[in-house]
Structure 1
Amino acid sequence: MPLKPSTYGPAVEAFWREPTSSLLRTLDAPRRGLRQQEAERRLAQIGPNLAEPSQTRSMLQKVVHRLINPLIAILIVAAAVSGFSGDLGSFAIIVLVGPVADAGYCAGTSRGSRCRCLATIGCDPG
């Protein structure tokens, strides 16, 4: 009998490392797949295979999370120092580099995170 979702634990997290035969035995499933009747029975007993919805953050939380990035924080401080010291050329360059650095930070995240990350700065990840 397959494991119920509530019994999943660390042992199941690395299922991709297990040999196929071991997984099929654990799930009590033949290599060719379940018959329709068995699939319907398991669906009724266990329920559909649905992923948990991800937690969404408010726009303020997203902005604060971005500002925690050390590169962005350094650029903000450098822009402030340049602006207050009257070096408007450096201020402008730093302000223009900030979004590029942030987009670079987004590009280093996973695909799903990258899409959410780029969307918060108004980019279409394509």
Structure 2
Amino acid sequence: MGALGQLLQQSQLLAVNTYTAVTSVIPNLTPSQTGPIPGTNELQSILSQLAGWGFIAAAFGFIVGAIMWAVGTLGANGRAGEQGKKALFVALIVAVLLGGAHQLLTAGQAIGNGVQ
């Protein structure tokens, strides 16, 4: 057996020893099949609050972008107008992605479930 074979054998032995050590420290490790995962409600609340703040930030970015675009165009400052346009469209894209996040994740899960 070469050096690669010995290294592979040692890594397999280490994996078995690690698994044995972990299972001996945490006996009867069986996930609950009946209820939700602990902390799910808190995580959902945090994500909902983050989405709300994201919408507020997107609305603020949209307004600021529109103002920059208008002031840059009226003041003959093309660069400010272009930056305002970018800010406006980025804020719009962020708002669309935040609004459609649930549908995007659901579609991704359906695609993943279809893979055999």
TM above 0.5: no
The interval holding the TM-score normalised by the smaller chain is 0.3 to 0.5
Normalised by the length of structure 1, the TM-score is 0.31
The structure in which a higher percent of residues are helix is: 2
Structure with higher Rg: it is 2
Normalised by the length of structure 2, the TM-score is 0.33
